Amino acid sequence: MSLHWPWALVALLAFPLLLAVRWWTRRRKRRAAVRLPSVALIRAALPGRTSWKRRIPLWLFAAGLLVTGTAAARPEASVVVPDSAATIILAMDVSGSMCSTDVSPNRLTAAQKAAREFIKDHDGNQKIGLVAFSGIAGLVVPPTTDTKQLLDAIDALRTSRGTAIGLAILASIDAIAEINPDVPPTGVEVPDDGTTTGDYEPDTIVVLTDGRNTDGVDPMTAAAAAEARRLRVYTIGFGTANPSPMVCSSDQISGGTQFRGGPGGQFGGRGRFQDMDEGTLTRVAETTGGKYFKAEDAESLGDVLRDLPSQVTLQRKKTELTSWFALAGAALVLLAVGLAQWWNRTRLPARPRPAPR
């Protein structure tokens, strides 16, 4: 727990001051005491109270003042809470290697199916954005709760040459910056305060790729930009290292030409990488506070995407506890006053019963 206004704890000095006033008042009363010939008469006139009944209201009142004084300092607690307002940017690889058939029928089809299930699971309760990347990266669907728009965009993905993981991260940052004023876009320099501590933004980037960066910005450079903005990047490596043919239908390739090739073959006349750079994907995730996942088949990819919301939508936030402290302090003070009044109430003498006739 931390205090937003720690200097307000000076208000707690009221408690020792009240004790000093009470001590001084009681001392004056003892000096002004009147001597009476019979102590028994005084005891008979006073309401009967035990010593613990005299002390309980005092200590309850003192506790109430301490708790109320702490409330003035605005205490805060860091708690993990679900954040349905968080935005998830799903960056999907649509490079030529997504035609690989090591995942049946091919990686692209399996990834599309898993992404559709991921979007349906949220059922419009959370904003999701879609970024597609090959040799370039672009925002396909801005963050939205429109499930149909997202599903249509997933179905319309087409493969192309190259893999630009770094550009995909930068495009995702800019998509978040459009809806979160606390996140500067990539063209704005973020001042370095010499520390990486602090709460993460609720918005998260999920990068799904089957290969390594071949174009554009280095992924670690993009990861540094995300880290500076307190954005977490979760990376998913999809596919196996097994050599396999690459087959994409005409509606899965930009230009509408059916592609078939052997393992390690060419895509559009250009060499490409079919192996996955797990080291870079792991470092990107660790640098930004995210996590790397490996999915070798359609089922494991579905499991990873299904479990992601439990990680990316739980955020550690500071919750102010001022109202709770104020209520507790007021309750203690009222209880102290009530007990003091109840135990100090004047008891009227019982009426004498009339003598029987």
Predicted confidence at residue 191, as pLDDT, reads 74
Q: Are residues 143 and 276 in the same domain?
A: yes
Q: Which domain holds residue 19?
A: 6-75+321-343
Q: Are residues 53 and 117 in the same domain?
A: no
Q: Write the pLDDT tens digit of every residue in 294-338.
A: 999 999 999 998 887 655 655 555 666 677 777 887 887 788 777
Q: Are residues 55 and 166 in the same domain?
A: no
Q: Are residues 338 and 231 in the same domain?
A: no
Q: Would the pLDDT of 92 be above 90?
A: yes
**For 177-189, what is the mean pLDDT?**
91
CA contacts within 13 A on the Cβ side of 185: 6
Q: Is 352 a domain residue?
A: no
The residues facing 317 across adjacent strands are 79
Read off the tokens for 355: 């003598």
Q: Is 357 a domain residue?
A: no
- State how many domains the chain has: 2
Q: Are residues 297 and 150 in the same domain?
A: yes
Q: Are residues 335 and 242 in the same domain?
A: no
Q: Are residues 163 and 303 in the same domain?
A: yes
Q: Is 353 a domain residue?
A: no
Quick one: pLDDT band at residue 156, thresholds 50, 70, 90? very high
Q: Are residues 140 and 27 in the same domain?
A: no
Q: Would the pLDDT of 144 be above 90?
A: yes
Predicted confidence at residue 345, as pLDDT, reads 65
For residue 102, give the DSSP letter: T
Q: Write the pLDDT tens digit of every residue in 111-143.
A: 999 999 999 988 777 899 999 999 999 999 999
Of 50-59, 119-128, 253-262, the least confident: 253-262
Virtual torsion, Cα 292, 278, 260, 115, nearest 10 deg: 10
Q: Is 183 a domain residue?
A: yes
**For 245-264, what is the mean pLDDT?**
70
Q: Are residues 215 and 71 in the same domain?
A: no
Q: Is 356 a domain residue?
A: no
Q: Is 348 a domain residue?
A: no
Which pTM value belongs to this model? 0.64
Q: Write the pLDDT tens digit of every residue in 205-224.
A: 999 999 899 999 999 999 99
Strand 75-82 versus strand 2-3 pairing type = antiparallel
Dist. CA 347–CA 52, nearest whole Å: 20
Q: Are residues 93 and 11 in the same domain?
A: no
Q: Are residues 37 and 154 in the same domain?
A: no
Q: Write the pLDDT tens digit of every residue in 7-42.
A: 556 666 666 776 677 677 766 666 555 555 555 554
Q: Are residues 28 and 98 in the same domain?
A: no
The CATH number assigned to the domain holding 159 equals 3.40.50.410
Provide the 3-class DSSP secondary structure of residue 264: coil
